[in-house]
């Protein structure tokens, strides 16, 4: 039982790192983007977003996933037949897919932007922001299903 509780604690820490980072990053990016060109250069901020995502989003997501798999095995849960678990996994997978397909490439584009074409940068930022907030909402929903455990 102690091992399971340790896994659960690490699982919660992974969720905090993942959801906390994407939420705070979205807030600060929007806040600082509005100041771009006045007293804030966005490229270093984009680099910070990229690195914090690689460390905290990826690290938290990896910790969350690994401990989740180990807890399913330890608890002998039928993950396909447990509605709250299945829904949480699908929401996490959807958010991860959005991150890999859209968000991470846009972050790299913003970080590499040379500052000459503000329209292109704005397009990448707005897409990154819109998809990012949707992806973040999916993570909040996943947390809700995992904690609330409806239908199971």
SS3 81: coil
Q: How many other C-beta atoms can be found within 10 angstroms of the C-beta atom of residue 145? A: 21
Q: Write down the pTM of the prediction.
A: 0.92
Quote the pLDDT of residue 122.
Answer: 87
The tally of CA atoms less than 13 A away on the side-chain side of residue 65 is: 15
Q: What is the CA radius of gyration of the chain?
A: 18
Q: Chain-wide mean pLDDT for the chain?
A: 91
| Nearest-angstrom CA–CA distance, 46 and 94 | 23
SS3 114: coil
| Nearest-angstrom CA–CA distance, 14 and 84 | 18
pLDDT tens, position by position, 5-62:
999 999 999 999 999 999 999 998 888 887 766 667 778 888 888 899 989 999 999 9
């Amino acid at each position: 039982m102690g091992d399971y509780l340790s896994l659960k604690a690490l699982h919660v820490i992974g969720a905090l790192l993942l959801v906390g980072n994407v939420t705070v990053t979205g807030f600060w990016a929007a806040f600082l983007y509005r100041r771009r060109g006045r007293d804030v250069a966005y490229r270093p901020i984009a680099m910070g977003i990229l690195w914090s995502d690689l460390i905290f989003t990826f690290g938290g997501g990896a910790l969350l996933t690994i401990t989740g798999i180990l807890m399913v095995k330890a608890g002998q849960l039928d993950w396909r037949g447990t509605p709250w678990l299945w829904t949480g996994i699908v929401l996490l997978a959807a958010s991860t897919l959005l991150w890999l397909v859209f968000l991470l490439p846009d972050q790299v584009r913003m970080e590499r932007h040379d500052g000459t074409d503000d329209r292109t940068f704005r397009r990448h930022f707005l897409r990154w922001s819109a998809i990012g907030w949707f992806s973040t909402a999916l993570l909040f929903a996943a947390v809700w299903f995992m904690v609330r455990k409806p239908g199971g």
